[in-house]
Every structure is written in C-alpha cells, then in structure tokens.
Amino acid sequence: MNTITIKNKHDRKINELEKVCIKLREFEKTKDYKAFYTFIKTTQVPFIPCYERKAKAIYQECFDTLHSIGGISIPVAVALSMHYYVLASLSSYPFSIQSMEYWKREMLLKKIRKEKLLIANTGSIRTFKDTSINENIITQIEKDNYIVNGEAPFMSLSEVADYIVFTAELSKEDKLVFFVSSNTNGITFHDAPFGDEMLGSFTKSVRFDNLNVNSNNVIKLNSAKEEKYELLIYQRSWFQGLISAPYLGAALSVILCLKEFSRKKIRHDKLLSESDNFLDSIGELMMKYKTANQLCKYTGVSISNFKKGDTVLLEKMFETSVLSKYYSTHIAEEIVTKIRSLMGSKFLSPGTITNKIYKEIVYGPLQPMTDLDIKNYFGTKVMHHET
C-alpha cells in the first residue's frame, strides 16, 4: 500500500515537472519570464521542501528539478536554486522542538505552502570560517520591532519573489535572519551588472532604508561562538550543492544536441556517429558529466548525515559541497566548450540552445564561492596544517 502511494506521489511530481519544462520552453520564445514564475507557483514544484522534510530526499528532488530546468534555461534554474536552498535548509535543519525558532519555521513553511510563495535571498556566508558577508546590512531594536538599513549587491528573483530572506547584524557578535514580504516599504531593487544572458534570473541589488520588521519574522542565531553560524553554514552547503544542477543540466542538454548532430553530419563519407574517434570523444564527455553528478549526489548524502552541534560533520559537509560546486561547474563549462569545437559553426547558430547555453555556462564558476574564495580557503587550511 505504501509503495503504491509513494509511486503515485512521485509520478505526480514528475508529470508536474514535465509540464513546467514545456511551459518554460514556450516562455523562452517570448522572454516573458514573469509569466513563467506566475505559472510555476500554481504547481508543487517550487515547494518540495514544504512537503518533504528528509534532507536526502529534498536534496535529490530539488537537484533533479534544477537539472531539468537548467537544460532549458540556466538563469531560471539559478534563480529557483536560490529559492530552493533557503527553503530546503530551513525545512530540514534540526531545530529543537522546544525552541521558538522551530515553531517560527513551522508557521513560515505552512504559510509558504498555503499561499504558494517564492523566496528571494541575499545569501549568507562565503567560507566555513568567514561569516562576514552582508556586513553593510545592520539592524537596531525598537520595542518589538527591528529597523534595518543597508544594501546587498545581488539578489535573484528580485521583483518576482513574494518574500525575501537576508541576514543582518545587530552587533558585532549577533546576527539575525529576516523573512520579509518583498513589497514592504523600505525595500528597493536596483539593476545589477549582468547582461541579457541572465535576464531570466531577475538578479538585482537590494537596498533597505529604515525597513521595519516585527520580531515574529526574525530568527535569532545561537549566541554560543561555535554554534552561532551553524545554520548559515548549513544553508550555504545547500546552496553550493544545488547551484551546480543548472549547469550540469545545461551540459547534458548540449551533449544530447551533439548526439543528434552526429546522426546527421557526414564526414569522410560516413556519419559522424559511426566514427570511433567521435564515440571516444562523446564517451569521455559523458564520463565527465557523470563524475560531476556523482560528486553532487555525495553532497546530498553529506548534508543528510549532518547532526546539530557536530563541528566535524559540519565542516565535512561544507567542504564536500564546495568541492562538488567547483569541479561540477568547471566540468560543465569544459563539456560545452569541447562540444563547440566538435560541432563547429552549427553550434553558434542564432536561436539555438547550444548558442544560448554557451553564453550562460560561464557564470557557473562565478557563483559564490568563487574559484578565488575556494582556493584561498583550502590554501589557508594547508598553511595552518589543517589537512
């Protein structure tokens, strides 16, 4: 009986994802991305973490969804990954049932599920040790409310999401996580320096001017030094794990384009697909894609193994997510570049998915943590003998 229930539930999600992908292809032609986000909210696809609470299952379903959407539009999948990682990390984090944060989380998830809300956010931390991002967003207490001022340089889903999430500094030692309706007075969005390639992500900077937030919309981070940023590190690990999915989905999409191309292209009096050299080339590309996929899957396992208060598992989870992000985004870019050389001018034909993905794939390594951040992190560990 349970097997049938699970199977039907899974099939329903697969069917919804297929519908979402069909709609996205339609909206890609008109570039009416706001209409797409309006449509996707009518499905259960953006709200997987509200229905599934086990970290491993959430991770795999979110990753698979972003992978499928990334094969059509990297910018849209990247934007949805921002929504997913906040929602997924919040829903799966092991808050104590006796804590106020636990019940605030439950109320928020219920609201998101019922009202079908999309979440935008400014990010949290860059490395395991350094949790200083968003230093320019500060808050003060006034009676039962918090007054927030400052600016964050990047927020995907700006002017599209219903709620925004951000971290602000109350004092040098205290940071708070805020959940606020995006149309609240005191919030303004400004264009970020991206071209049309990332149009569908709606990435902008966000400014807070005397934003008034009730304490009910705030989660306080633990004041103990070793535990204070655990939620933010957990959250960033989700981000690093999921952000590769759009780029790997795009890489697979281009591999499939190469497959079709090889069945029509004739070289030396025979189809390209019949060439041993070609089979070696496409086989190697597929091996690299599958290797990257396995790295990302292991991140999901690492996240699911996390236990609150265990600093060893916390650091292992974080490093696993960072390594999967680094290698997967680079492998995706390498695959697409290699296929461009195999397909030649056909690859860059205007209006083709290969040309579109070629312009978008380069943003993978630029997603935080950037290459420089990652190398610096591991370089610092080596110099401090933390190997």
Residue-level pLDDT, tens digit, the chain, 387 residues: 333 333 455 566 668 999 999 999 999 999 999 999 999 999 999 999 999 889 999 999 999 999 999 999 999 999 999 999 999 999 999 988 998 888 888 998 999 999 999 999 885 445 555 544 445 789 999 888 999 999 988 899 998 999 999 888 887 667 788 999 999 999 999 887 676 778 899 999 899 999 999 988 888 765 554 455 788 889 999 999 999 999 999 999 999 999 999 998 887 778 888 888 999 999 999 999 999 999 999 999 999 999 988 989 999 999 999 999 999 999 999 999 999 999 999 999 999 999 999 999 999 999 889 999 999 999 998 998 766
pTM score of the predicted model: 0.90
Bridge partners (DSSP) listed for residue 214: 145
Q: How many residues are recorded in the chain?
A: 387
Residues 6 or more apart in contact with residue 257 via CB below 8 angstroms: 339, 343, 352, 353, 354
pLDDT at 10: 58
Query: Residue holding tokens 């610096």?
Result: 376
pLDDT at 387: 62
Q: Which two tokens stand for residue 272?
A: 């390209």
Rounded to the nearest 10 degrees, the angle between the axes of helix 74-92 and helix 100-115 is 140
Rounded to whole angstroms, how far apart are CA atoms 126 and 133? 7
**Residue 369 contacts residue 131 (beta carbons within 8 Å):** no
Q: Give the H/E segment covering residue 239.
A: helix 230-242
pLDDT at 159: 85
Selection from 168, 81, 178, 95 nearest residue 131 by Cα: 168
Rounded to whole angstroms, how far apart are CA atoms 387 and 377? 12
Rounded to whole angstroms, how far apart are CA atoms 103 and 110? 11
CB half-sphere exposure, 63, CA atoms < 13 A: 28
Domain ranges of the chain: 2-118, 121-220, 230-383
CB half-sphere exposure, 76, CA atoms < 13 A: 28
Whether the bond between 369 and the residue before it is cis, its omega within 30 degrees of 0, is yes
Bridge partners (DSSP) listed for residue 213: 146
Q: Which two tokens stand for residue 207?
A: 């400014």
Rounded to whole angstroms, how far apart are CA atoms 358 and 336? 7
CATH architecture observed for domain 121-220: Beta Barrel (2.40)
What is the secondary structure of 56-70 as a DSSP string? HHHHHHHHHHHHHHH
Radius of gyration of the chain (CA): 22
Selection from 80, 31, 22, 26 nearest residue 199 by Cα: 31
Helix (H, G, I), strand (E, B), or coil: what is residue 157?
coil
**Residue 213 contacts residue 169 (beta carbons within 8 Å):** no
State CA 308 to chain mean position distance.
23
CATH H-level superfamily of 230-383:
Butyryl-CoA Dehydrogenase, subunit A, domain 3 (1.20.140.10)
State the CB neighbour count (10 A cutoff) for residue 104: 20
Q: How far apart are the first and last CA of the chain?
A: 49
Query: Residue holding tokens 């599934």?
Result: 52
CB half-sphere exposure, 42, CA atoms < 13 A: 7
The CA angle 337-31-11, to the nearest 5 degrees, is 80
Selection from 135, 111, 113 nearest residue 123 by Cα: 135
Residues 6 or more apart in contact with residue 210 via CB below 8 angstroms: 147, 148, 149, 186
Q: Sign of the CA dihedral 371, 374, 376, 382?
A: negative
Rounded to whole angstroms, how far apart are CA atoms 302 and 321? 8
